């Protein structure tokens, strides 16, 4: 659908007492209108020749216009055209500056045209200056007028997953409701618009045992959790989920990915240990298993060791160990002892 002028002149009738309701009538004024393609006056007002006291609302044009092109989007007129012959022109990006000639104006009638389909993802708005000059002497009939053109978003980009396949691990001892991994997709359409509002859904689970709904997915965040009891590594070691992301709140364009889930034994849950406070250590160490090897910088005073322990599903918890520095043997129980370097 072709774009039309949607902005209108500020509603001066809603102004509060004492507020400026628009430009006052002075000598040497002109009436300027901006009309839509149907000839309806959408923007109008009294303009001073040397100063403009109000701002014209944006003109909205849909991206991906199918034509025929060029297509009229608005008409600019000044009441001076009753006195002298007026010539109109436009300047700015999209007119006489790159990207050039996306917009043109009929120099005699003031009709503004779009000459090619717009792409909001390439450029979301254009700011043009409209000029009106006396054809006879070339003098300016109006101060240049700013017109902003807003490109209306269409749902022309499908979601894209950040990975084709996601790998996850879950213990057979995990309880129903435990979230252990997530998937994510992005959409290039306008942020905050339904066209980029993604919802996630599990389309298929292989194998469908012992239940076809062993896992569920948070439709908004993409977090995958255990949905039913019965995970048993001795029977099934791996599940493959086909996951869909659809924009327009789940009703628009779609994309799919795979989530490959390995079921681990309840006695060997992989985890990582991450050192949080780096002041006393030469490197940050990650490990899988029951311990971590940390290299200490030379120090002469007691300090805390802060570790973050995370399971395979990304659930983390900080652990603090008090470390005391001693000369010789450590005799105090309940703390972590380090001999002086």
Residue ranges per structural domain of the chain: 12-152, 160-264, 271-339
Average pLDDT, rounded, for the chain: 76
Burial of 93 by CB count in 10 Å (0-12 exposed, 13-18 middle, 19+ buried)? Answer: middle
The average pLDDT across 229-233 equals 95
Q: Is the pLDDT of residue 116 over 60?
A: yes
Q: Is the pLDDT of residue 176 over 90?
A: yes
pLDDT at 83: 74
Specify the higher pLDDT residue, 68 or 82: 68
Segment among 17-26, 60-69, 76-85, 305-314 with least mean pLDDT:
17-26
**Model-wide pTM > 0.85:** no
The average pLDDT across 230-245 equals 96
The CATH classification number of 160-264 equals: 2.60.40.60
Phi-psi region of 18 (alpha: psi -120 to 50; beta: other; left: phi over 0): left
Q: Is-same-fold flag (12-152; 160-264)?
A: yes
Backbone angles phi, psi at 338, to 5 degrees: -130, 130
Residues above pLDDT 70, as percent of the chain = 64
pLDDT at 139: 78
Q: Is the pLDDT of residue 94 over 90?
A: yes
Among 33-37, 79-83, 164-168, name the most confident range: 164-168
Q: Is the pLDDT of residue 217 over 90?
A: yes
The second-level CATH assignment, the architecture, of 12-152 is Sandwich (2.60)
pLDDT in tens, 69-78: 999 999 888 8
Q: Is the pLDDT of residue 21 over 50?
A: no
pLDDT in tens, 269-278: 455 666 566 5
Question: How many C-beta atoms surround the C-beta of residue 332 within 10 A?
Answer: 9
pLDDT at 221: 95
d(CA 220, CA 182): 11
pLDDT at 114: 96
Give, in degrees to the nearest 5, the angle at Cα 64 between 61 and 69. Answer: 80
Q: Is the pLDDT of residue 267 over 80?
A: no
């Amino acid at each position: 659908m072709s774009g039309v002028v949607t902005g209108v002149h500020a509603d001066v009738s809603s102004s509060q007492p004492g507020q400026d309701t628009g430009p006052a009538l002075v000598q040497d004024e002109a009436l300027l209108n901006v009309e839509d393609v149907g000839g309806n006056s959408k923007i109008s007002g009294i303009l001073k020749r040397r100063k403009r006291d109000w701002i014209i609302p944006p003109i909205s044009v849909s991206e991906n216009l199918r034509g025929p092109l060029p297509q009229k989007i608005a008409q600019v007129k000044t009441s001076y055209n009753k006195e002298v012959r007026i010539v109109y022109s436009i300047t700015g990006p999209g007119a006489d500056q790159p990207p050039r000639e996306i917009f043109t104006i009929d120099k005699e009638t003031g009709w503004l045209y779009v000459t090619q389909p717009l792409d909001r993802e390439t450029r979301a708005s254009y700011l043009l200056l409209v000029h009106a000059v006396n054809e006879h002497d070339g003098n300016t009939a109006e101060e240049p007028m700013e017109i902003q053109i807003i490109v209306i978003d269409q749902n022309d980009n499908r979601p894209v997953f950040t990975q084709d396949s996601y790998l996850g691990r879950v213990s057979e001892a995990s309880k129903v409701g435990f979230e252990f991994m997530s998937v994510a997709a992005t959409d290039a359409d306008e942020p905050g618009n339904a066209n980029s509002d993604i919802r996630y859904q599990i389309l298929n689970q292989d194998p469908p045992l012992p239940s076809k709904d062993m896992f569920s997915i948070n439709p908004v965040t993409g977090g995958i959790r255990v949905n039913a009891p019965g995970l048993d590594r001795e029977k099934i070691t791996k599940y493959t989920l086909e996951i869909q992301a659809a924009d327009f709140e789940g009703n628009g364009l779609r994309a799919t990915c795979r989530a490959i889930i390995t079921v681990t034994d309840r006695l060997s849950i992989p985890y990582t240990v991450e050192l949080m406070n780096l002041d006393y250590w030469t490197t940050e160490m990650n490990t899988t298993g029951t311990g971590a090897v940390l290299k200490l910088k030379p120090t002469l005073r007691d300090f805390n060791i802060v570790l973050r322990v995370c399971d395979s599903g990304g659930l983390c918890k900080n652990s603090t160990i008090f470390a005391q520095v001693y000369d010789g043997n450590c005799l105090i129980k309940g703390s972590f002892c380090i001999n002086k370097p």
